[in-house]
């Protein structure tokens, strides 16, 4: 069972998908050189990372 190290709440964390740092780099490059494709990092799962947050206290757990 998952347990939050900050508030000791037991239960599954919130998982959010976010564009990673590498994804933003690709986004800027596409914006500069290939504007019609600048949305690609937002749909390519390899350029995203999962963020885990405690449901109770909101602390980042990743
Ligand atoms: Zn917590």
The rounded Å distance from CA 62 to ligand 1 centre is 13
C-beta neighbour count of 38 within 10 angstroms: 16
State the distance from the centre of ligand 1 to the C-alpha of 17, rounded, in angstroms: 19
The number of domains in the chain is 1
At 12-58, the pLDDT tens digits run 999 999 999 999 999 999 999 999 999 999 999 899 999 999 999 99
Q: Measure 18 CA to ligand 1 centroid, in angstroms.
A: 20
How many angstroms does the Cα of residue 16 sit away from the middle of ligand 1?
A: 16
14 forms bridges with which residues in the sheet?
A: 53
Q: Domain of 59?
A: 1-62
Indicate whether this model's pTM tops 0.75.
no
Classify 37 in phi/psi space as left (phi over 0), alpha (psi -120 to 50) or beta.
alpha
């Amino acid at each position: 069972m998952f347990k939050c190290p900050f508030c000791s709440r037991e239960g599954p964390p919130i998982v959010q998908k976010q564009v990673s740092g590498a994804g933003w780099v690709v986004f800027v490059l596409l914006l500069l050189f290939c504007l019609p494709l600048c949305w690609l990092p937002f749909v390519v799962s390899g350029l995203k990372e999962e963020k885990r947050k405690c449901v109770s206290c909101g602390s980042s757990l990743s």
